[in-house]
Every structure is written in C-alpha cells, then in structure tokens.
Amino acid sequence: MLLQRLSRRATKNVSIGAVNDRKIHEWILTNVLEIGMKINVDRARCTGHAMCFAQAPELFPLDDEGFSIADGTIVPPGQEERAQRGVDACPERAIHLSNS
C-alpha cells in the first residue's frame, strides 16, 4: 500500500523521458526516503587502523578485532561531510562512497 502510494507520487514527479521502475525506485530513494550515499569498504584492504572510526564511530563501526564492518552503511542526510572525513582518513584507501 505504502509503496503503491509512493510509486503514484513518483510517477507524477518523474517527467523527463520514459517512466520505468528504475526511475521510480531512484526517485523514491532520493526524494522520499532521502537516501543519498552508501559506504563501501574493501575488507581485503582494511588492516584495522580504526582511523575511520575515529572520525565518525556511528558511520564506521568495527568488529571485535578492529576491522571495519561499515560496508553497505547508508549515510544519513546531513552526515555526508563526516563520512567523507572517514574516507579520507583511511591510510589503506579501503573506503569509498557511492550513490545508494
């Protein structure tokens, strides 16, 4: 029910080109749920420095051995700058941000 309502609302607001499921899905993510960025961690590169955690502990959680378990974490709106600081702090370049 909720998804149907959101899809109807999205359909009214997507005006460029053909409306398809992917566009509706993207519109819902960015305009309704306000989901923007996702944290991606290459666990093979992570060596457990915890520099990301030091920048934003809630965005870059660690496992019991100090390795990042942040892969797939959605960055809440307004936290993008802190997420980028965590990315920049990683000496192994193990983290990057992508559009969710």
Residue 74 near ligand SF4 by CB under 6 A: no
Residue 84, token pair as written in the block: 């980028």
Residue closer to ligand SF4 (CB basis): 10 or 37: 37
Residue 50 near ligand SF4 by CB under 6 A: yes
For 57, half-sphere exposure in the C-beta direction (CA atoms, 13 angstrom radius) is 2
Reported as type and span, the H/E element at residue 75 is strand 74-75
| C-beta separation of 55 from 39 below 8 A | no
Residue 47 near ligand SF4 by CB under 6 A: yes
Residue closer to ligand SF4 (CB basis): 68 or 73: 68
Question: What's CA 92's distance to the chain center, in Å?
Answer: 20
Residue closer to ligand SF4 (CB basis): 18 or 44: 44
- Residues forming the site for ligand SF4 (CB under 6 A): 41, 46-52, 60, 68, 89-90, 92, 94-95
